[in-house]
Amino acid sequence: MAGVPDVPGDETDRVFRLQEEIDQLKEAVVSHAVVDQAIGMVVALGRVTPDQGWLVLKDVSQHTNVKLRCVAEAIVLWGRSGEMPAEIRAELDDALDRYGPAQIPGAPPVG
């Protein structure tokens, strides 16, 4: 407002809100990177398209009632450690059966 001096508490609140927003954006960027890595692993290992890889992650998340980001983290960790929660592994296998494998252009037919 014109003519009304800024109240220090208002400025502090504004800085706090902006810091919260920055923290949320940082978390979103990290989460997006993990999801992209997991899609890449699903694409490579399941021989599905990137769109199918996304659908596989969504299906696993929905059928296990585990947040998609957490499913993605489990898949990425599995790539490093070879270990994955049994429930996620079983649903991942089922989802890959539903969506893949995709036919690679020029490759012999699968099966």
Residue 52: which residues within 8 A CB-CB, separation 6 or more? 43, 46, 99, 100, 102
How much is the mean pLDDT over the chain?
84
* pLDDT band, residue 45 (cuts 50/70/90): confident
C-alpha–C-alpha distance, residues 78 and 87, integer Å: 13
pLDDT band at 99 (very low <50, low <70, confident <90, very high): confident
Q: Are 73 and 66 in contact (CB under 8 A)?
A: no
- Please determine, for residue 109, whether its predicted confidence score (pLDDT) is greater than 70: no
Please report which confidence band the pLDDT of residue 104 belongs to, taking 50, 70 and 90 as the band edges.
low
